[in-house]
Structure 1
Amino acid sequence: MKKTLQTLATAAAVATAAPAQAGDGQFQLLVLAMPTKYHYEYIPVARESFEKLARLHSFDLTWVAQPWAFEGDLGKYAAVVLLNSSGEEFNEAQRAGLERYMKAGGNAVVVHRAIISKPGLWPWYEKLVGRSFVIHPMLQTATVTQVDASHPAAFGLPEHWIWSDEWYEFSNPHGVKINPVLAVDERSYDPTRIWPGQVAKGMGADHPVSWWHAYEKGRVFVTALGHNGDAYRDGRYLEHLWGGVWWAATGRGRLPGP
């Protein structure tokens, strides 16, 4: 019984907001990382990396495992990060909270599986993401190319980058205009390599895997990269992710055009 109570207490502590720093940072960041059926192994690795980023770059980090925080006042956060944690998991109060936050000038970072939302379930969220998930082939190595070298999410990456991931395919049912940062070259992998009974066709030459856009009164940064938990140990991936987070939280860093 004692062991059971200790286990429950530990689980509760993990699910509770846990600030890495308190009060002295450049800005406050909320990260939601829910343990789900398809994504959970990445969580301790990602959390450790985010905490290191918070110490290195002097921002205040709050890490939560459930979206209860979205029912309260999010106004103190410069940005919220949905780390493999889709809005389709939110209840009505949590959805309303995220909508209020963005309409008041809040900013969002959407990472990998957080892109996925059941079509028609929450159209507002689909518009926030900017693209709707269709399907993905089996994980493969491919060439990622810079589309917008002026964005901080591309600063730490070469013009061409070899990366292994699930290459999500997207549709745009809401006609949202996005600004691509990175794209995948479909000539470098097989877009049709998928499990029996499923069909993936690829998206052709226009296949973004990271982008930004304005939504409501805030900034949104999206990356489809990050399926493998070991990505959060990879310096280039972390440079990409941190560049997107920094831009979303501050609006700074984008280089002027030619």
Structure 2
Amino acid sequence: MKKILLAVAAGLLASASQADTQYKILVLAMPSKYHYEYIPVARESFEKLGKLHAFEMTYTNKPEVFDGDLSQYAAVMFLNTPPEELNEARRKKFEDYMKNGGNAMLVHRALIIPPNTWTWYEKLVGRHVGNHPMLQTGVADVVDRNFPATYGLPERWIWSDEWYVFDDPYKIKIHPVLNVDETSYDPTKIWPGQVSHGMGKDHPVSWYHHVDKSRVFVTALGHDGNMYKDPQYLAHLMGGLWWTATGKGAR
């Protein structure tokens, strides 16, 4: 009888846990030449966020996950992942997921893809990454205080990162949520033999937009692994994730 009661109790706890899960996300965190130390750090932080905010997560560095059923995920996140690593079949699976109402969140290195490699994805990002100066401390200004990715941030946020430079070859309309103040760092400070220029006053570093019925949140921030322990940065990511997965939180 005792074993039966324990089994029933375990079943009830499992049911309660499942009932408390609001949605499920897929996080693809693949290593690249300059981005690999972040993977275990980010995983631990996202697992804590999942427990705190009651969402379920598949966290993997294996692109084979795209061979499975993507429709179970409220959002797919490319976390510092080189998107060109996906083969043609997996790219098609992701495109079909988005065309059928899926949602995407793209973080830092995931914004970069070689030209003419995957045009559909570059349009999904909404901007093309040209280059970036050396990592420097700068000030990110909140542009949209009504978007969840800015709720945990000050109006002027001191942050150190690679301030990506963008252009807009496809004329995609985006809604910036953070701009970087180029007077707070040197946009021309780059390695010998390379040239970097700023973008001026209009220099977004995080934004959102819609592709058909799908939600897309983008942040260029997140170069260093230690950033994935920072409460303000995690609040930025969580706000973007919440909106991406549910469409809620924006005013």
Equivalent position to 2:232, from 236, 239, 243: 236
Q: 1:93 maps to what in 2?
A: 89
Residue 233 (structure 1) shift: 0.7
Equivalent position to 2:165, from 163, 169, 194: 169
| Matched-pair identity in % | 63
C-alpha RMSD of the superposition: 1.1
Runs (4 or more) in structure 1 with deviation over 6 Å come to none
Q: 2:120 maps to what in 1?
A: 124
Q: 2:203 maps to what in 1?
A: 207
Ranges in structure 1 where 5+ consecutive residues have no aligned partner: 1-20
> Does residue 247 of structure 2 align to residue 251 of structure 1?
yes
Q: 1:56 maps to what in 2?
A: 52
SS of the aligned residue for 1:181 comes to strand
SS of the aligned residue for 2:59 comes to strand
SS of the aligned residue for 2:96 comes to helix
Q: Whose Rg is larger?
A: 2
The 5 A counterparts of 1:109-188 are 109-188=105-184
Instruction: Determine the C-alpha separation between the residues in 2 that align with 1:202 and 1:173.
Output: 17
Q: 1:31 maps to what in 2?
A: 27
TM-score by length of 2: 0.92
Amino acid at match of 1:125: Y
Instruction: Determine the C-alpha separation between the residues in 2 that align with 1:104 and 1:219.
Output: 12
SS of the aligned residue for 2:71 comes to coil
- CA 1:84–1:51: 2 relative to 1, 3 Å: same
Residue 150 (structure 1) shift: 0.3
Instruction: Determine the C-alpha separation between the residues in 2 that align with 1:22 and 1:197.
Output: 55
User: Is the 2:142–2:178 contact (alpha carbons within 8 Å) kept by the matching residues of 1?
Assistant: yes
Aligned length: 235
User: Is the 2:32–2:82 contact (alpha carbons within 8 Å) kept by the matching residues of 1?
Assistant: no
Instruction: Determine the C-alpha separation between the residues in 2 that align with 1:94 and 1:87.
Output: 10
List per-residue Cα deviations over 1:86-124 (Å, max 9, x = no partner).
Answer: 321110011001100000000000000000000111110
Residue 72 (structure 1) shift: 2.4
